[in-house]
């Protein structure tokens, strides 16, 4: 009997001990194989949402680029270059070299228009007035005022573009039509514009 009384007293001691009424913390169970924890679940959900958002944003940007493509400025292939009297006889007019890629040459009998593209590898030669020739800075090709190649690796003359008079009397240059000397095209109509004014 004395043993039983001792057991009851120990239980009462435990219930009355300091902190006995404090809430017992709930220990989270470690995930078993094949399960994911709550934190892991939300991590996966967040990653999936980020991937989805990135895909939507990327698709929107692609669509935007498709709807608003980059616009490259290209000068018109056909343009008016001014009235005949604005050009000096025996002079190479370089005003349209940078903007339209042509030289306009006036002779006492008319006009012709040369391309500024070197026939070697496509560099842009310079007109050297004192030497009376076009000189390419890349590999040294030289062309006389008519466009004939005379030095360097260029295999053929500069090309000419079509030149006519517009209705208002200005020179009308059409870069859609070109003439190559080696093909006998410099004698074709449009390769040279007669003018005796």
Provide φ and ψ at 149, rounded to 5°. Answer: -75, 135
Please report how close the Cβ of residue 156 comes to ligand FES at its closest, in angstroms.
12
Number of residues this chain uses to bind ligand FES (CB under 6 A): 13
Please report how close the Cβ of residue 148 comes to ligand FES at its closest, in angstroms.
15
Q: 140 CB contacts (<8 Å, ≥6 apart)? A: 151, 152, 153
Q: How far apart are CA 145 and CA 53, in angstroms?
A: 63
40/140 with CB nearer ligand FES: 140
Is 2 strand, coil or helix? helix
- Please report, as residue ranges, which positions from 112 to 141 form the binding site for ligand FES (by CB under 6 A): 118, 120-123, 136, 138-141
Please report how close the Cβ of residue 137 comes to ligand FES at its closest, in angstroms.
8
110/142 with CB nearer ligand FES: 142
91/124 with CB nearer ligand FES: 124
Please report how close the Cβ of residue 149 comes to ligand FES at its closest, in angstroms.
9
Q: Which of 81, 92, 102, 154 binds ligand FES (CB under 6 A)?
A: 154
50/121 with CB nearer ligand FES: 121
- Please report, as residue ranges, which positions from 57 to 76 form the binding site for ligand FES (by CB under 6 A): none
Total length of the chain? 197
Q: How far apart are CA 130 and CA 123, in angstroms?
A: 21
- What are 104's two structure tokens? 């306009």
Q: How many CB atoms lie within 10 A of CB 122?
A: 9
- If phi > 0 it is left, if psi is from -120 to 50 it is alpha, else beta; for residue 126 that is beta
123/148 with CB nearer ligand FES: 123
| C-beta separation of 151 from 131 below 8 A | no
Give the residues lining the site for ligand FES (CB under 6 A).
118, 120-123, 136, 138-141, 152-154
């Amino acid at each position: 009997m004395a043993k039983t009384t001792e057991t009851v007293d120990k239980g009462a001691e435990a219930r009355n001990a300091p902190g006995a009424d404090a809430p017992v913390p709930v220990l989270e169970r470690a995930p078993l194989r094949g399960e994911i924890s709550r934190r892991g679940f939300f991590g996966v959900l967040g990653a999936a949402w980020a991937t989805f958002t990135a895909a939507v944003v990327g698709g929107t940007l692609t669509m935007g680029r498709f709807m608003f493509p980059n616009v490259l400025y290209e000068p018109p292939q056909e343009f008016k270059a001014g009235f005949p009297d604005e050009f000096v006889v025996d002079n190479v007019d370089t005003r349209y070299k940078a903007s339209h890629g042509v030289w306009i040459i006036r002779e006492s009998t008319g006009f012709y228009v040369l391309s500024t593209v070197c026939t070697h590898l496509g560099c842009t030669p310079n007109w050297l007035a004192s030497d009376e020739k076009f000189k390419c800075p890349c590999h040294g090709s030289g062309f006389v005022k008519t466009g004939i190649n005379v030095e360097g690796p260029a295999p053929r003359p500069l090309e000419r573009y079509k030149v006519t008079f517009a209705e208002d009397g200005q020179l009308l240059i059409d870069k859609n039509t070109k003439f190559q000397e080696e093909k006998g095209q410099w004698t074709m109509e449009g390769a040279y514009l007669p003018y005796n004014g």
